[in-house]
Each structure stands twice: as C-alpha cells, then as structure tokens.
Structure 1
Amino acid sequence: MLKVLVVDDDQALRFSVRSALEATKKFYIEEAFDGVNAIEKIKERTAEKNKTQQAGARAFDIVILDVDMPRKNGLNTLKEIKEMDPGIIVLMLTAHATVEVAVQAVKDGAYNFLSKPLSSDELIQLIDKAVTAHTLISTLAVSSPVFVDEGRKIIGNTSQMQKVFNVIHKLAKVDTPVLIRGASGTGKELVAKAIHFNSARKDEKFVAINCSAIPENLFESELFGHEKGSFTGASERKIGKFQFAEGGTLFLDEVGDMPQLMQVKILRVLQEKLFMPVGSNREIPTNVRIIAATNRPLEEMMKDGRFREDLFYRLNVVPIFLPQLADRKDDLEVLIHIFIRKFNQIHGKRLTGISAEALSVLKRYGWPGNIRELENVIEHSFVLESSNTISLGSLPEALLEAAGVSLVETMQNLESQSETLKKSAQVFSSTEIDSENDFDIDSEIDDDSLESCADEDISISISDSASLDFNAQKEEFEKQFIIKALKTFKGRINQTALHANIPKKTLLRKIEKYGIVAKEYAEPKS
C-alpha cells in the first residue's frame, strides 16, 4: 500500500483528496496543514523507520503539495523534500496556475502540476502514471548503472537507490543528450525509458529506433521523412522519426552502427535543431531530446575514422555505463527474484524462490546474453517447473552444460533427493509415540539435541490411505514435522526456523498452507 501525504491549508480539499484516494484501497493517507508541518511529518516518519531497522525505507511514497500556503510555500517545501529524499513523488496543486510556476516546480523535481478544482479520476490516473515511471528507476537500479556526473562516478545498485534517484532527478532538470554504453542485453533501453518517463518530456512520445536494423539507403528517410516522389517507391509523403517524436525523446539504439553520412546529418540536428526531409527544400525545426546507446568501442572507431569525433562529444554529455552481468554476480539473486515476481503475475503461478543448487549453477554460468538472457532462463524454468521453487531440473540443458553440470548427474541427483524423501516419509510413519514424551519442553535446546532427534523414535504419522502416493505422504510429513518443531520450540517462529533449518518465509508459507496455528504450541502464560 502506497503512503501518501496530502499537504494543503484547505481542510475541505484535504478531505476531498483523502476520500478519493482511500476509495481505491491502494493508499495509506496522512495530512499536513502547511509546508512546515509536512517537513516535520516526513522527518518524524523517517526517524521512526530508522529506529525500527528500516533504514532506507521511504517515509512517504507520494506527496500531494499545494503551492500557496502560509509559513512555507509549496515550491520551497518541494526543494526541501527533494533534498531529503529525491525518490518521493511530488504532485503540485494550485488554484492559480501560471506557466512560470509550473515550469519551476517541474525543474525542482515535481512529477507534475494539477490545477484546482481537482478531478478524482485525473488525480488517480496521474498518481498511477507517476508510480509506473518511478518503478522504472527501481528496476534500473538493479542493472547497476555507473553514471558519470561532473567527473564523479555514481554507481546505482539495489543498495544505493538514493544515488540513482539523485542522478535521474538531475537528468530530469536538463535537456542534454545522454550516451548509454554497455553490451547487448544489459538494459540500455530500460535506462533510456527511465530517464524519459521521469523528465519534463514524460507526457510526450518515447520513440526508439535501432540504427543497426535500417538499410543505409533508407536511413535518412526513416529519421527525417520524405516528400512524395522524392525517390523511386516514395508514393506518398512520410513523417520521419524526428517529427513523430516532437517534444519527446528519440532513442538511437546501436548508434555506433550509424552510416557516416547520417552521422554528419545527426550532428547538424544536434547543433542547429533543424532538419530537412528527403526531397524537400524547407527546413523543419525540431524539439527532441536525443538519448543514444551502443555496445561498440567508439573510442577505437574514432581513431580509424568510422565514428565522428565531434558527434561523439555531442552525444557524450552525460555518459552512463552498464556493466555485464558476469561482472556483478552478487546482484544475480536479486534479479532472479524480480523476474520471479514478474512471471508469477504473467503466468498466474506462485513460485517463491530458487533452490540453492540452481542458484549455484547460475552463478557459475558466464551470461553472454546478460540480463535479457537471465530473464529468458527464468521464464523457461517457469514453464517447466512443477514445484514452487526453481530447481536444477527446470534450467535449460544448454546452460547446465555450459556451466559444467552433467545432465546425467543432475538427473541422478534429483532421483537421489526423491528417494531420500521417500525414505524419510517411511521412517517418520513407522512408529507413533506420545508427543508429550518426545521432547522435554523445559530443557535447553541445542544443536546436539536436534541431531539426536534423527536417531530417536519420532512420532510422525501418515495416513494409510496416502501410503502409495508419494506427494501426499511428503505433504503429510511436512505438516507433522512443522507441528513437532513448533511444539519443541514453544510456538516461536524465529527459533523454529533457525533450529529446524527452515527458511522463515518457507515456514510461514507452510504454516498457512496447512492451517497450522503456531500460538497453540506456545508456552502457557503463568
């Protein structure tokens, strides 16, 4: 649930906004009566989260902020909020909108500007759009881009979201070209979209063009358009990508593959903000931001004349470098869980994670296709996996072989694990003793006592009706084992997870699955 702070000196408007948002059941709402009160609440909530070990957690996801307020106006409050946390989405409100105030608010980091009186539908649509744009930044942070800003490298990864928001906040204020460098599959277009949809041009088009996919003789027409009859086959007038993207962003992917003649023409557009369609004798002004990307070694290409040096420096105003996945395998598990959440929604499944064996293999793999290849591998596993965890057996055969894993050994390992589970089920179903005598609740719990449990006569009963169904026996074993562990550790979830060697999330999920009430096994209060 998104946390929203509504800031306005008009109590009736605060109530109206609160009612509209609470009706969606997607937001938790708080109110502030002016800018000073808003800053106090943000600082107070941030301090509370830090005290409860939630450092880095956001005090509020969204602030809806009035411009005209006593003590501290909206524009000054906006600046202070962005200094504290650039990641907070700020929407500005005013009854007396002017172009100058709106432009200044957006430059200072406001996502957008709304005029009073408010339409509930318009407000909710704008919030949804803002959240989507900021989600791109969260995904971008996982790709660990290295931004170069004023000579300083700023690395953005999952533990440094603040820096990523800071860089995007800076890029949103300016209109300079951006050059994104990185191998194929590292997420260059994702970075370009994150910049566009969080910039002042977010309401206009984002147009992507792959420079390596356009025949050289059609390149100029594709970018600048052409007039009817300007060349053989030009049966009608065509609008080029520059005109189509007017006011927005043009993403030139694989710009290193652009023909030299077109490099000259693109340079002129960057310098003069003018272009001429093929077959036309009139120049057309353009207002488009250029974001370029390449996996080519432009510095080497400049030395042998394949890429213009002047164009390089025009594009390289704000360079961003995306490392290969093989160079940052510490991020692998985070990326995997992001894709698991994505494909759970797409395929309607409820996978919870990846097995230790499968993760170990993925970390050994070289990932020549980078993040794009990882996404394909996880989707492949979703199609084949029948359990709730990605296992070794659901990974692509080619990947297993490239990682040095024998397919025969993999199958033998899976069969061995299955056989072990069957034997465990048989052992636990072989006897039944009084649960009150199995464990001394008042005794000290240690690892030795836990290990000895394996050799003792443990009461885990399994229904005879399920004796020929391994899956049914396995589930019954899980249920009885969890109940036995909860009894042993007096219903304490953390102690049960730790000493019974069950991940806490898995334990909680199993408790819910089998309808177990942990409190029933807690030590009675005296």
Structure 2
Amino acid sequence: METPRLLIADDDKKTRDFVAAFLKYKGYDVLQAFDGQDALEKLEVEDVHLVITDLMMPRVNGLEFVKKLKAMRPGTVVIAYSAFGNYEMTSNLLKAGVFFYLEKPFNLDELETHVKRGLEHQSLQSQTYRSKPALKSRSLIPNIIGESPRMLSLFELIEKVAESDSTVLIQGESGTGKELVARAVHDLGTRKNRNFVPVNCAAIPDELLESELFGHVKGSFTGAIATRIGRFEMADKGTLFLDEIGDMKPNLQVKLLRVLQNRELEPVGATRSKKVDVRIIAATNQNLEKLVASKQFREDLFYRISVIPIFIPPLRERREDIPLLVNTFLDRFNRNKKSKVKGIDADAMEILGNYDWPGNVRELENLVERLVILKGFGTLGVKDLPEKYTGVSLSAPSEALALPDAGICLNTVVEEFENNLILQALKKTGGNKKEAALLLNLKRTTLIEKLKKRKLDVISTSLA
C-alpha cells in the first residue's frame, strides 16, 4: 500500500519541523514548505494526498493559498491551523474547501486523527469517481429497491461510505428512503453490531430535543425526576441518525457542533462532560445551503456534517424502477394482507410510470397497499387507480353518490373524500398547515394528526 504523502506549509520553522517529525514518526511521507508560495511551487511537481497549512504566512497567506490550491487540485484535502482564528475566518476557510480547522496550540494526536479522516475522505472520493456500479451492490442492500443506473451508483457509494467512519449527510425529498440508506450504511460498516439510534429532529419539541440528544441529570429542570441518558450515549460505539436536521434550532446546532469537534457531550444540568464515540449520519429534505445563506443553519456545522454527501434521486428521476417497485410491493402486501392480486395491466403501469410522484417511493408503496386491500384478487387496471393518478373521473357527476351493485367500503370512501379535501386545502395554502386547518374548520393539531395517521405528511411536504 502506498505511503500517504503530506505537505506542511508554515513560515515558523520550529513548528513546521515539530509537526513534520511527529507525522514522520507516525509513518507518513512528509514534505515541507516555508510559506504558501513555496507550497504552490512544490505542488506543481510533487503529488501529495493531504496538505496541512498555517494561515499567517508571508507572500501568499493561508486562505489565498487554499483557494489557489483548490483551483489547481480540487480533490486535495486541506487541514488548516492558526492562533488567530475567529468565526468569519473559519467560515471563509470552510467555504474555500478546507476539510478541518484547528486552533493553535493544538494536540498532535488530535491532528493525526483529522489527518486519518482526511485521507479516508480523499480515498473515498477518488474511489467514487473512478468506480462503476456493480450488481453485487443490489444483493448487499436488499431493503432499497432499484436497478436503474442511478440506484446502482447509489448502492456502490453506500458500500464505500460504510467502510469509513466519516460523517454522512443524506439528502433527498420526503419519501425517497433516507433512513433506509442510513441503516444500510450502518449495517455494512464496522459498527453493525452496535446500536443504530434514529432521532427525528422535527418530531421532538424544541424544549425537549436537547435532553433527548444529550440526556439530563436529576433535578436539572422541572420534571427531571431521574437522571436519563440521551440518544448520543445510547449510540456510543454505534451510529446516531439525525433525521430532518434542517429543523434543528440554532442553540442546539452549536451544541451538536461541539460534540462533533470534541467527541464529548454535556448532559443538561451536568457539570462534567462525557466522552462519546458515535458515527453521525444526518439527513434532510431541505436545501441546507439555502438555510445557511439565510442564516437559519450554521455554516460550520453544515460543512462538518457533509463530509460525505449522499443524494437519493426522486422517483420521477428513475422511472425505470417503478415496475420493479410496484411488483415488489404487490408481492409483499399480497402476503401480509392474504390477498390474491395477480398483477397490474400495461395501461395502468404506464399511467404510474408517467406520474410525477411528489411523495416518491413512500407514496407509491401506500398506493399499492390501498389497491391490494380494495381489489382483493384479480388484476389491477386503470379503473382501479384513484382519479388523481389517471386525471379522469370514472363516475359522472350525477352518479357520484350512486351505490354500486357490488357495494362499497364506506370507511374507505369517506376517508378518501376527506383526504381529497385536506390535500386541496394544503394546495390552496401552499402547504401552510395553519391556514389549511382554518379552511377546513379544524384545529391545526387535528389536521397534523390526520396527516400523520393517513401518511399524507409526505405529500403535504411536497406542496409547501
């Protein structure tokens, strides 16, 4: 295996020699540069895997050096350090592409930890760009369904990411299967025999989320009648999955950032911190870069959690997987519901293939489950599909309330009628639940309960 080659740029010879000696002792091949300009000249003729640089240097300062380096070699991992850091500087460095920033004086063991992570990240990125999708990935990740080129690429990336311990950010629309991807990363990794602990940051009230994540000590607040460990400690040596991280409030973002940086947490009301060894996988259906631009999400936390980004394509961008998904769901629900639906005809399948699926795979799964229950046996056709998918009403207005000879399931018809009105209200209000509730003369909490119970929250999110 090739020995990783590092380059250290620092005009302080004493510091440079000290860091270089430590890293050579740890088995790395180390080059030295006395400032940014010297480093750029060396990089023109030397191949390196990772660069470590001071910021305050003559001729070309650290930030300018990073920008020129990234323009020259975009894939090179950079770790920067300085004794004069501030939030603005850190933000500019992360924007320029720095992998990690350390404040002087720093611990050499901590530096080596980040060097290892940086090299791991660099290796993963280069492998991802070089590799081609392999069919073996499909068999290793059975719970995620797809055989399209984009999904095979996703399977390949999941395998490679699982081998590392780096922080992962999974992005994708609601209903695309972000938790399934997170579980696959965990199950294929070295922590597979440890806990996988999911937390939905949007589902837990803000005032309780801190205690839920970090735990609390007895008496730390009203109602804290006993000491309780948080999800971080539950996931120690395992994986913590932070779903909907874009909904996390700024004060908690700061505390999460501290845990990611220092690998230790402080329970609510505690006076001492605790060490934790947790792999973080985060997910969101929001555009975090837009939230960063609007100051709703911390920029430094964004770069910290998105070391390895994974994007799950929406169903409308992999339509060739729809027949496979439909047949898989038919088989599953036939078994679970003891039904005998033989399949779906070509015309109905074509309609499903042309639909845009705002709720993605989850919406398709819910539809197939409903069709299997209502049909019971035989072959699904166009007449079995709800109007929203066909765009055609199968009953004339005068016959809308007519009772078929075969009878109906009253509860199902009433529920579908309610669902249709709820979705219309959400569409009229652009997904605003409070305004939709007013249109329907419902309490907001009642509307939210109906959305969750009937699994309409996926579709309602897409209307926002």
- Give the shorter-chain TM-score range: 0.5 to 0.7
Post-superposition CA distance 1:18-69 (Å, at most 9, x none): xxxxxxxxxxxxxxxxxxxxxxxxxxxxxxxxxxxxxxxxxxxxxxxxxxxx
Q: CA deviation at 1:200?
A: 0.8
Which residue identity is paired with 1:198? L
Task: Supply the distance in 1 between the matched residues of 2:147 and 2:198 (Cα, whole angstroms).
Answer: 20
Going from structure 1 to structure 2, the CA distance change for 1:299 and 1:143 (only over 3 Å counts) comes to farther
1:298 paired to 2:288: yes
Post-superposition CA distance 1:380-403 (Å, at most 9, x none): 0111114332223333x3xx2353
Q: CA deviation at 1:221?
A: 0.4
Out of 310, 332, 348, which is 2:300 matched to? 310
Which residue identity is paired with 1:140? I
Which residue identity is paired with 2:374? L
Note the 1:248-397 alignment, pairs <5 A: 248-395=238-385, 397=386
Task: Supply the distance in 1 between the matched residues of 2:342 and 2:154 (Cα, whole angstroms).
Answer: 28
SS at match of 1:299: helix
Q: How many residues align?
A: 263
1:238 paired to 2:228: yes
Post-superposition CA distance 1:86-108 (Å, at most 9, x none): xxxxxxxxxxxxxxxxxxxxx9x
1:138 paired to 2:128: no
Normalised by the length of structure 2, the TM-score is 0.53
Task: Supply the distance in 2 between the matched residues of 1:328 and 1:318 (Cα, whole angstroms).
Answer: 22
Q: CA deviation at 1:136?
A: 6.7
SS at match of 1:407: coil
Post-superposition CA distance 1:207-238 (Å, at most 9, x none): 11111112111121010000000001111111
Task: Supply the distance in 1 between the matched residues of 2:177 and 2:156 (Cα, whole angstroms).
Answer: 19
Out of 396, 407, 431, which is 2:394 matched to? 407
Which residue identity is paired with 1:175? D
Residue matched to 2:197: 207
**What's the C-alpha RMSD, in Å, of the aligned pairs?**
2.4
1:227 paired to 2:227: no
Note the 1:11-26 alignment, pairs <5 A: none
Higher relative contact order (CA 8 A, sep 6+): 2
Out of 183, 204, 216, which is 1:193 matched to? 183
Post-superposition CA distance 1:227-281 (Å, at most 9, x none): 0000011111111000111111111000000000111111111111000000111
Percentage of matched positions with identical amino acids: 48
Task: Supply the distance in 2 between the matched residues of 1:143 and 1:165 (Cα, whole angstroms).
Answer: 10
1:167 paired to 2:157: yes
**Would the aligned equivalents of 2:211 and 2:230 in 1 still touch at CA under 8 Å?**
yes
Going from structure 1 to structure 2, the CA distance change for 1:296 and 1:195 (only over 3 Å counts) comes to same
SS at match of 2:199: strand
Going from structure 1 to structure 2, the CA distance change for 1:375 and 1:143 (only over 3 Å counts) comes to farther
**Would the aligned equivalents of 2:241 and 2:282 in 1 still touch at CA under 8 Å?**
yes
Q: CA deviation at 1:350?
A: 4.1
SS at match of 1:226: coil
Post-superposition CA distance 1:288-323 (Å, at most 9, x none): 111000011111111121111111111111111112
Structure 1 segments (4+ residues) deviating >3 Å: 133-136, 163-166, 349-352
Which residue identity is paired with 2:391? G
Which residue identity is paired with 2:214? F
Residue matched to 2:3: none
**Would the aligned equivalents of 1:143 and 1:322 in 2 still touch at CA under 8 Å?**
no
SS at match of 1:239: coil
Going from structure 1 to structure 2, the CA distance change for 1:169 and 1:331 (only over 3 Å counts) comes to closer
Post-superposition CA distance 1:87-139 (Å, at most 9, x none): xxxxxxxxxxxxxxxxxxxx9xxxxxxxxxxxxxxxxxxxxxxxxx9867134
Q: CA deviation at 1:332?
A: 1.1
Task: Supply the distance in 2 between the matched residues of 1:316 and 1:217 (Cα, whole angstroms).
Answer: 26
**Would the aligned equivalents of 2:198 and 2:241 in 1 still touch at CA under 8 Å?**
yes
Which structure 2 residue ranges, 5 or more long, are not aligned? Answer: 1-119, 121-136, 400-464
**Would the aligned equivalents of 1:401 and 1:407 in 2 still touch at CA under 8 Å?**
no
**Would the aligned equivalents of 2:170 and 2:310 in 1 still touch at CA under 8 Å?**
yes
